[in-house]
């Protein structure tokens, strides 16, 4: 099946620094990617919808200046956590929806997740 890769899988940073997480669709094009956040032992909460070539749409309560999302190509979306604080520590998961025309049209695929720890 289609593969979505996230990098890094784990990152530890100091408070106040910025961290970038990449989400790549390896063998398909994705016009839409979704970013989720998962707290320990909890479900996934949608943070934002990322559309290639346009601004991301953020869910209510998610600070867009805190969580910068860029979707510059059909295979890459990035989430940058700016001025990270310990409360930003979480598991971040991206998902990508295959664009029309391929064998996986409309399918949604998830990355492996990125665990962020802010000290």
Partner 1 sequence: AQSVTQLGSHVSVSEGALVLLRCNYSSSVPPYLFWYVQYPNQGLQLLLKYTTGATLVKGINGFEAEFKKSETSFHLTKPSAHMSDAAEYFCAVSGDTGRRALTFGSGTRLQVQP
Contacts with partner 1, residue ranges (CB under 8 A): 4, 6, 32, 34, 42-46, 49, 91, 93, 95, 97, 106, 108, 110-113, 115
Cβ atoms within 10 Å of 71's Cβ, excluding its own = 24
Reference 111, options 70, 78, 82, 72; nearest CA is 78
Reference 46, options 11, 93, 86, 99; nearest CA is 93
Residue 110 Cβ, how far from partner 1 at the closest point, in Å?
4
Judge contact between 93 and 110, C-beta under 8 A. Answer: yes
Scanning the structure block, which residue is given the tokens 């996230």?
A: 6
Residue 43 Cβ, how far from partner 1 at the closest point, in Å?
5
Nearer to partner 1, 48 or 84 (CB): 48
Nearer to partner 1, 13 or 46 (CB): 46
Residue 66 Cβ, how far from partner 1 at the closest point, in Å?
19
- What spatial distance separates the first Cα and last Cα of the chain, rounded to whole Å? 37
Residue 54 Cβ, how far from partner 1 at the closest point, in Å?
16
Nearer to partner 1, 4 or 84 (CB): 4
């Amino acid at each position: 099946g289609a593969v979505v890769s996230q990098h890094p899988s784990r990152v530890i940073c100091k408070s106040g620094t910025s961290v970038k997480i990449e989400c790549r669709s390896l063998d398909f094009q994705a016009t839409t990617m979704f970013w989720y956040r998962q707290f320990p032992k909890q479900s996934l909460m949608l943070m934002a919808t990322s559309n290639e070539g346009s601004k991301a749409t953020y869910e209510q309560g998610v600070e867009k200046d805190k969580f910068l999302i860029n979707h510059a190509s059909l295979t890459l979306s990035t989430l940058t956590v700016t001025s990270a604080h310990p409360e930003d520590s979480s598991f971040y998961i991206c998902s990508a929806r295959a664009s029309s025309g391929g064998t996986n049209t409309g399918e949604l695929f998830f990355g492996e997740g990125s665990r962020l720890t802010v000290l």
